[in-house]
Each structure stands twice: as C-alpha cells, then as structure tokens.
Structure 1
Amino acid sequence: MFNRIETLRMASALTAHAENRQKLIAQNVANADTPGYRSRDLAGFADTYRSTPSTDLRTTRPGHVSGSGWGGSNRAVDSGGELAPNGNSVSVEDEMIRIAQAKKEFDLSVAITRASLSLIRTSLGRGM
C-alpha cells in the first residue's frame, strides 16, 4: 500500500542512497593509506532519482526477482581530489564533509517518512 505513495517511495530511495554513500565513504577512509586507491562517491540524489529507469518487474511467484535496487543511483564515480605521491586521492577532511552530507540526507529521509505517516494517520482519523 505505501509503495504507491510517491513521497514515501522517494524517501525510501533517499535512505538507500545515503546508505550506499556511507558505505563508499567508509571504504575510502579504510583505504586512506593504500597506494593507488582512488576516492569514490555517488552522484547526487537529485541527479540520480529521476534518471533511474523503471525496472519494476512483475513477480507472480515467491521465487521471482523483483528488480528493486537496480538503476543508476548505486554507481560509484571517482570523486576526484588531489593525488598524493603514492597515487592515493583520499582526503580524510573531504570524507568527513561527505559523512555529514550523507547523515543529512538520511535525517531528511526519516523526517519525510515521519511527516508522511503522520499525515496518513491524521487522514484516517487517528491523529497523534
């Protein structure tokens, strides 16, 4: 039922984007001293949300693949940055900024979900 509400679908996609971005940031920090490692990041959520192709597959049996999670929002791109003498492009300071941005995305998705669910409860006459 809730997957038909575009606001909740968008909030769920934003949560997944923040999660995947946080994973990449953790990999970047873990490889901060690895020679030749290139820092990676995800494209912005606004750039990827509408550009992902619709891959909703019809599932008629429990064993079928639904196709959720496919699309361009999970593609890592080189985040650039200045190369160290060993070829590494990870800057811990830049990664700290990206962590704060990913947390902000996640907090926004939670706030949107809460507000949407509160609106649904109110419309059903079960206000908070």
Structure 2
Amino acid sequence: MEPKDAAFYDIKARIIAVLANPKRLEIIDLLNVKERTVTDLASVLGLAQAATSQHLSVMRKAGVVETRKEGNFVFYRLADPRIAAACGVMSRAVVELLLSQQARLRPILAVARRERAVA
C-alpha cells in the first residue's frame, strides 16, 4: 500500500470516529440488509426517533449513508457496501482477539479459582 498524505488520514480518522459508536455500528448492520426509514430503524434499535435521526445525520454528513425520498418517506441506505464489509472484517478481528485473550486467560483463571478454593 502506498503512503498517504495527512489529509487522507484525517478523513479516514473522521469516518472511523463516526463509526465508533455501538448504535451506529448496529445501523450499519441493519442498512447492509436493506434500506430503512428512521421510524423503522428507531423501532429496531429501541431508540427514540430523534436520537436515531441524530445518528443518521452524523453518518450522512460523513458520507457513510445516503437517502432516497419516496413520497413522505425518507429511506436510508449505505453509501458504499464496502463500509459494511470493513465493519465485518473488524467484527471478525474482534472475535478472534477475544478468543485468543480467552485462551490466554484460561490458565490464569484456573489458578485463581484453585487459590480461592484453598483460601
């Protein structure tokens, strides 16, 4: 991969910061399946419509989602499916990291349990 300039890393960091929110990551997963309205997303997320709209506004300003109007409804969709793919790669990496940490911690936890049983 070729080196990028500072502006590229600034843009990349801003997009990652937008995605660094559990509800926004959930929105990414939901929009990866199909486009949805704010009302639909709010219902699935268990959030107020206003809170969902705020998340979507931030995501839209960052270019992560885009909209399509149909009558009185505004549908949100991912601006680029590679965003969901990147989040999927991160999810798999997190699972692998947690599994490796669990494997490393297993012997330590076994010793701690034995020591607690003796005490």
Interval containing the TM-score (normalised by the shorter chain): 0.3 to 0.5
Larger Rg computed on CA atoms: 2
TM-score, normalization by structure 1:
0.33
TM-score, normalization by structure 2:
0.34
Query: Counting helix residues as a fraction of each chain, which structure ranks higher?
Result: 2
Query: Counting strand residues as a fraction of each chain, which structure ranks higher?
Result: 2
